[in-house]
Structure 1
Amino acid sequence: MKNKIRNIVEDNTSRKGKLFDFFIQALILSSLVAFAIETLPNNSNQTIELLNIFEIICVAIFTTEYSLRIYVAKKPLKYIFSFYGIIDFLAIFPFYLTKAYDLRALRAFRVFRIFRTLKLVRYNKALNRFHIAANIVKEEIILFLIVTSIFIFLASSGIYYFENEAQPEIFTSVIHSGWWAVVTLTTVGYGDVYPITVGGKIFTFFYLINWGWNCYHTCRISRECIIKS
């Protein structure tokens, strides 16, 4: 019995496995659409009731699927604490938490229902390539995040040095200057914080050139790693 269930749940090459995959994909997409509709204002009582019923059905099916995956897993604990296991758990956990306790503040946990989108990765080979690519370049990503943090700190310190006297209310400290560093290095540039001194403008110019080169070099290395793999 366990092998038969495993062939349906885990093996998407068989006919039954494909049907199971398509059913789960359709249910995930439908639940996300229902979640979006639920956030609309002025929903009628009938619509709210139908959405609640559909939510219960979805959670019941997802819970059954999660339980079956634990049952057929050769190493249940490994699945539970794996990437997909955590995503499967987060897809149903907020529902039970908000139903178990009558605390309105806990409704914030319903935001975690957006994690159902990540469940699509399991059922789509094309999307699954992103997971494979992430594993390939994970060391480069970690390095990039470290370098980015260093750049943000150095940018915050540098712009504070140049702009503190001219704009003490904006560049009050290195920490306050961090906002400028983030929006500038991410090229968002809201325009609410910007340098006005000559030194600050020159510093920003050369820093952005250096930052752009760093991003280009990191992307090139990551692409080469993916191609080689």
Structure 2
Amino acid sequence: MSRLAPRPQRREPQNWREHLYEIIFEADTRAGKLFDVVLLVAILLSVAVVMLESVRSIRSAHGGLLFAAEWFFTILFTVEYVVRLICVPRPLRYVFSFYGIVDLLAILPTYLTAIPYVAGRAGTQRLATIRALRLLRAFRIFKLAHMLSEAEALRQAIWAARAKIAVFLSVVLIAVVIVGSAMHLIEGGKVDADGRPVVTGFDSIPESMYWAIVTMTTVGYGDVSPSTPAGKALAAGMMMLGYCLIIVPTGIVTAELTHVGAKKLSTQVCPGCMAEGHDADAAFCKYCGTHL
């Protein structure tokens, strides 16, 4: 009977930078998990502050406190971002990685509000809610490696079905253009008794295409609707087509999932290229060969 190969031993940190890297970028140690849990709590609180700031009554009553809290979290995340740059072996790789870009975007909006020209722009402060994207780190923090494996399997299935999905989207786009044009021909161009044009919502092909998309996706806002018998018949056909097309993407991806097996992945981040999604028994990065 063959024996299973032992899992590679973790290489111990050799200096303070490697030790700091292990705490900040890994979730396999107690210190690393504690750091990421505290970070997640801070992210949740900062997003809550931005949401509360958007409520007029709360902003008028506690505007100063919310302003101070927002700058506190921004400075905290700025220090964290700088520390990440210091301890990572290749800073530029981290800066242009997915999490690096998200971490930078999480602190930029508050600093932009300090610029006189930008400070008066509405919505700049609310861009700070992009920090919610950093909650994706929860997959690494709580050792949800099995969820990472399933997510990787889903990604592979979607990528394998990309050609079929592209054909499906092309069919949908063609149907929207044809039905939108037909509805514009049927419902558009109406005039009242005095010969003045009547606004029907189908006054142009783009507006009719908007109605077709809303109808096909079964959303049905009701802001635009046909009034003629021919228009209603076309709308009924569009609704039935929408119900039939809803299940197509699900079937395509499901068929590909049956051919993709979920591999067990680890939560480690490569110190060389900042890539994730390594096999649980991997000792080296499968993208650049760096020792994990």
TM-score bracket, shorter-length normalisation: 0.7 to 0.9
* Number of equivalent positions: 229
Residue in 2 that maps onto 1:173: 204
Displacement of 1:218: 1.0
From 20, 39, 46, give the equivalent of 2:35. Answer: 20
Paired residues of 2:53 and 2:63 also in contact (CA < 8 A) = yes
2:165, 2:252 within 8 Å by CA — same for their partners in 1? no
- Structure 2 regions of 5+ residues with no counterpart? 1-15, 192-197, 261-292
Given the alignment of the two structures, is residue 124 of structure 1 paired with residue 154 of structure 2, yes or no? no
Partner of 1:156: 180
* Other-structure match for 1:101: 116
Matches of residues 50-129 of structure 1 in structure 2 within 5 Å? 50-125=65-140
Structure 1 contact 140–218 (Cα < 8 Å) conserved? no
Specify which structure has the bigger relative contact order, considering alpha-carbon pairs within 8 angstroms and separated by 6 or more residues: 2
Q: Normalising by structure 2, report the TM-score.
A: 0.68
Confirm whether residue 9 of structure 1 aligns to residue 24 of structure 2: yes
Measured against aligned partners, the alpha-carbon deviations of 1:74-102 in whole angstroms (never above 9, x if no partner) come to 44333322322221111111111111335
TM-score by length of 1: 0.84
Q: More displaced, 149-158 or 85-94? A: 149-158
Tell me what 1:188 maps to: 219
Unaligned runs of 5+ in 1: none
After TM superposition, give the deviation of residue 227 of structure 1 in Å: 4.8
Match of 1:38 in 2: 53
Q: 1:151 to 1:110 in 2, by over 3 A?
A: farther
Q: What RMSD, in angstroms, separates the aligned Cα atoms of the two structures?
A: 2.9
Q: Is the Cα–Cα contact under 8 Å of residues 166 and 197 in structure 1 kept in the other structure? A: no
Change in 2 beyond 3 A, CA 1:165/1:216: same
Structure 1 CA distance for aligned equivalents of residues 129 and 229 of structure 2: 46
Equivalent-residue separation in structure 2 for 1:142 and 1:66 (angstroms): 38
Going from structure 1 to structure 2, the CA distance change for 1:152 and 1:218 (only over 3 Å counts) comes to: same
Q: Which has the larger radius of gyration?
A: 2
Moved more, 121-130 or 164-173: 121-130
Q: Give the SS at the match of 2:57.
A: coil
Q: Give, in angstroms, the shift of residue 25 of structure 1.
A: 0.7
Change (3 A) 1:63 1:152: farther
Residue 213 of structure 1 corresponds to 244
CA distance in 1, matches of 2:256, 2:249: 11
- For 1:165 and 1:106, locate their aligned partners in 2 and report how far apart those are by CA, in whole Å: 40
The answer to whether the 8 Å contact 2:25/2:32 transfers is yes
Offset of 1:68 from its aligned partner?
2.6
